[in-house]
Structure 1
Amino acid sequence: METLLPTSLPLLFGQSLLLGLSIAAPVGQIGLLAIQRTLDHGRLAGLATGLGAACADAVYGAIGAYGITGLIAWLLGLKLWLSLFGGGFLLWLAWRIATQSAARSSSVHAPAGKLMRYVAGTFMLTLSNPTTILSFMALFAALAGHAPSSSPWVMVAGVLMGSALWWLILSIGVGYLRDRFDARWQRAVNLSSAALLGALGLWQLGQLII
């Protein structure tokens, strides 16, 4: 069995944390949702949106870290249905955001039940993105190749913490802008977010016929 130096686990955790941070940071559909919900309902709404994605990242991280090849093949076999679900869900979200009224004041916050729905929704949306599956398989294969076989949990924890850290930073940062946005600006943000989410949904569905 491979001998593990005392510094190996902290180093692996740090590498995994940076990996989770780098995967979460690019602004895509989850980032747009987190920004829009933070502006409409406060920091907790944006953080809840991001945490759903962070949990999904951890799930894919666990699959890659533990090398569950059968499950990987099964998920890739569902690529068509996952893409249909993800694209359709993005179009539905775009419609909901475009037709909702902007929050009237900065004191409006999402209730606990809605926060849980935000977590669940972005968890499913992130899981349904085939690009996420493939990127995690490649990145974790590279990282796991230099890691001891007894440390997958360290990699999973690092990815989860790195991804969650990004969403915390984003929700806090956007939250500072919330008080400066009146209803007119919030409406403009909602419409812009809806347009971009709709475009991403159409692009994801369009990949199925290319």
Structure 2
Amino acid sequence: MTFLEYVLIGYLVGILTTAPVGPVNIMAIQHAVHGGFRQGVYVGLGAVIADTIFASLAIFGVSAVTTFIKGQFDLIEIVGGALLIIFGIKIWNTHPHLTNNGNGRDHGFLGDATAAFFIAITNPGAIFAFLAIFGALGDLRPQHGDHVGALVMVAGVAGGATSWWGIVSATVSHFKAKIDDRWLDRANHIAGFLLIAFGALIYLKLALDFIT
């Protein structure tokens, strides 16, 4: 595969893992509602750093594991697909709440980014999500030893996550009067559906490979 393909796949993974509405998304939305676009992006950039760390650990870890247990690629994809479906169902059934206790004050880049980073880095579900996705990618991810390809895909993840926070902050700051808990539920339903669909596609690919 080419570096461009690795970047695009990483970009999609970055969006897919960032889109579910959790504590950091709630924090970013609240800051964008009360402080505008810039405050929302500040929060998001802190989470991007954490996601980049998780993505690096996951992609290098999965590549090493699949090389160590040669011949078990299908098993790893089966487990990864199952985890994606489980995560998707969990996210679908999650009902986040947006509070209105912000005061619109500019908290500054460092404070908001640091808070978001620690919220994201202490979320154990995030690393498992990255492991599941990279494990399920199979031949679509860089193989063990392709350090440049792995770094390019991680850069794609960071780019996708950053784009997501920019889109969310711009959308929320523009339509802040219409943002409520039902909007958050719809966002989680979309993210959950995409994760479930991704897991289902993994099983469809395995089934087609078995038939042929």
Amino acid at match of 1:163: A
**How big is the shift at 1:177?**
2.8
**How big is the shift at 1:44?**
0.9
Is 1:50–1:119's contact at 8 Å kept on the other side of the alignment?
A: yes
Task: Give the Cα separation in 2 of the matches to 1:158 and 1:110.
Answer: 30
Q: Residue 142 of structure 1 corresponds to which residue in structure 2? A: 136
Q: Residue 33 of structure 1 corresponds to which residue in structure 2? A: 27
Q: Residue 124 of structure 1 corresponds to which residue in structure 2? A: 118
Task: Give the Cα separation in 2 of the matches to 1:65 and 1:160.
Answer: 13
Q: Residue 49 of structure 1 corresponds to which residue in structure 2? A: 43
Task: Give the Cα separation in 1 of the matches to 2:138 and 2:154.
Answer: 11
For these two proteins, the number of residue pairs brought into alignment is 145
**How big is the shift at 1:134?**
0.9
The CA RMSD measured in Å over matched residues stands at 2.9
Q: Residue 167 of structure 1 corresponds to which residue in structure 2? A: 165
Q: Does 1:110 align with 2:106?
A: yes
Q: Residue 155 of structure 1 corresponds to which residue in structure 2? A: 153
Task: Give the Cα separation in 2 of the matches to 1:51 and 1:144.
Answer: 29
* Structure 1: 5+ residue stretches without partners: 70-93, 193-210
Q: Select 1:16's aligned residue among 1, 10, 33.
A: 10
**How big is the shift at 1:42?**
1.3
* Structure 2: 5+ residue stretches without partners: 65-96, 182-212
Q: Residue 191 of structure 2 corresponds to which residue in structure 1? A: none
Amino acid at match of 1:50: G
**How big is the shift at 1:141?**
2.5
Q: TM-score, normalised by structure 1?
A: 0.60
Task: Give the Cα separation in 1 of the matches to 2:116 and 2:162.
Answer: 13
Is 2:58–2:127's contact at 8 Å kept on the other side of the alignment?
A: no
Q: TM-score, normalised by structure 2?
A: 0.60
Percent identity over the alignment?
27
**How big is the shift at 1:144?**
6.3
Task: Give the Cα separation in 1 of the matches to 2:123 and 2:112.
Answer: 17
Amino acid at match of 2:55: G
**How big is the shift at 1:111?**
4.7
User: Pairwise mapping of residues 29-108 of structure 1 onto structure 2 (< 5 A)?
Assistant: 29-67=23-61, 100=101, 102-103=102-103
Structure 1, residues 35-84: CA drift from partner, whole Å, max 9, x if none?
Answer: 11111111111111111111111100011122288xxxxxxxxxxxxxxx
Structure 1 ranges of 4+ moved more than 4 A = none
Per the alignment, do residues 144 and 110 of structure 1 end up closer, same or farther by CA in structure 2, a change over 3 Å counting? farther
